[in-house]
Amino acid sequence: MTLSVESQPPVAWLRLDRPQALNALDTQLTTALEQAVERLAGMTDVTVVVIAGRGRAFCAGNDLTEMATLSSEQAEALARRQAALMARFATLPQVTLAAVDGHALGGGLMLAVAQDLRIASDRARFGLPEVTLGFNPAYGIARLLDVVGGAHARDLLLTGRVVHASEALRLGLVNRVVAAPTLEATAAAWAADVARSPRGGLEATKAIVAELRRQGRGAEPEAYGAALRTSPEARARIQAFVDRRRER
C-alpha cells in the first residue's frame, strides 16, 4: 500500500505511505493518488481533505531511483500526469489542507502548494533542488508564483536552497507553523473549524478562486523531458545522487 484514505466526515485524511522512500512520488504512488483524488471527489459527506505523509517526510519529491531508469519520454509522460494531478486538487469540491512534517522537496513542495491551505511542523523543510541536478521542476511553477510571489519563487527555483519552516511562513509558503508533536492535532482542529461552514459556500468560493487564477498550462513537463534527453550532465547528477544514497 502506497497511500491510505481515512474518512472521518466531515474530514478525510489522505496519507502518503512510502516512509522508507520518504514518500517520494513514483509511478505507483502517482496512480494511487489519481485514484484517491477521484474517490474523494465523490465523497459528498466530506468537506475538508487533509494531505499528510507517514514517517519522517511529507514528500521528498519525484523518486530519483525510478527516474534514473526512465527514458526522457517516460519521464515527461509521468510529469504530465503529475501536473494534471496537482491541478485536479484545485477542482475538488472539498477544501484541501497540507499538513507538512519533515521534508517537502521538489514535487513534494509542489504537492503542498497545490492545496488550498498549508500547515507545517517546526521541523519541516521546503526546497526545489531540481536546478542543482540540471533540470527544471516538472510542474507547478505558476502555482508557486501565485502562492509566494515572483521574487521569492525565483529564489527557490533558481538557487535550489532548502528553507526552514519559519522562513517558509515568512515567505507565505505556509499559513501556520506549530510544534511537531502538535501538528496532526492542530491540522485536525483547523480542518474541523473550516468544515463548520456550509460545504456549498466553501465549494463556490474555491471554484471562484480557481477561475480567477486559471492560466494556460505551463511547459514544465516538456522542458523536464527535454532536459533528460539533451543533458548528459542532468542524467549523471541524478545517477550520482542515487549512488550516494545507496552508499549510506
Contact 130, 85 (CB under 8 A): no
Per-residue pLDDT reduced to its tens digit, 39-92:
999 999 999 999 999 999 999 999 988 988 989 899 899 999 999 999 999 999
Band of residue 234 on the pLDDT scale cut at 50, 70, 90: low
Q: What are phi and psi of 162, to 5 degrees?
A: -100, 130
Per-residue pLDDT reduced to its tens digit, 117-138:
999 999 999 999 999 988 889 8
Q: Is residue 222 part of a domain?
A: no
Which pTM was predicted?
0.88
Q: Is residue 239 part of a domain?
A: no
Residue 73: half-sphere exposure toward Cβ, Cα within 13 Å: 0
For residues 139 and 107, give the distance between their C-alpha atoms in angstroms, rounded to a whole number: 8
DSSP 115-174: SSEEEEETT-EEE-THHHHTS--SS-HHHHHHHH-HHHHHHHHHH--EEEHHHHHHHTS-
CATH number of the domain residue 172 falls in: 3.90.226.10
* Percent of the chain topping pLDDT 90: 75
* Residue with more model confidence, 246 or 11: 11
Poorest-confidence range of 22-31, 187-196, 234-243? Answer: 234-243
Q: Is residue 233 part of a domain?
A: no
Q: Is residue 223 part of a domain?
A: no
Q: Count up the domains in the chain and report the number.
A: 1
Q: Is residue 26 part of a domain?
A: yes
For residues 171 and 153, give the distance between their C-alpha atoms in angstroms, rounded to a whole number: 9
Asked whether the predicted pLDDT for residue 12 surpasses 60, the reply is yes
**pLDDT for the residue 212:** 80
Residues annotated as part of the active site: 130
Q: Is residue 231 part of a domain?
A: no
Q: Is residue 101 part of a domain?
A: yes
Q: Quick one: DSSP state of residue 42?
A: T
Q: Is residue 10 part of a domain?
A: yes
Residue 81 makes CB contacts below 8 A (sequence gap 6+) with 30, 34
Range of the domain at 67: 3-195
